[in-house]
Amino acid sequence: MDKELLAMLVCPLCNGKLKYDREAQELRCHYDGLAYPIHEGIPVMLPEEARTMDADEKLHTSTGRSPGSTPGHSPGRSGGV
Ligand SMILES: [Zn+2]
């Protein structure tokens, strides 16, 4: 994926910035809890094509993690690289 292209992409629903998940090949909007798929390098920015993330995924993708307050401590976080 082109980084400049990624930087331009926003959620079609809320115009919020998307987070690119390289492993999953998805662009995630944690405001709406949707993950837009990337097919062969082309992001599919259609809400009807997007996958609804579950609450746990939303936690992982949410920005601004605050040190000290981690109520939902998750054991064995995956994708360290
Ligand atoms: Zn959104």
Q: CA separation (Å) from 52 to 5, 19, 30, 58?
A: 23, 14, 10, 10
Measure 21 CA to ligand 1 centroid, in angstroms: 15
Q: Domains (ranges, CATH) in the chain?
A: 3-61 (2.20.25.10)
How deeply is 79 buried, as exposed, middle or buried, from its count of CB atoms within 10 A (0-12, 13-18, 19+)?
A: exposed
Q: What is the pLDDT of residues 43-56, one digit of tens each?
A: 999 999 999 998 88
Report residue 57: phi and psi, to 5°.
-65, -35
Q: What is the pLDDT of residues 23-73, one digit of tens each?
A: 999 999 999 999 999 999 899 999 999 999 988 887 765 555 555 545 555
Measure 30 CA to ligand 1 centroid, in angstroms: 7
Question: pTM for the whole thing?
Answer: 0.67
Measure 42 CA to ligand 1 centroid, in angstroms: 18
Q: Which helix (H) or strand (E) holds 31?
A: none
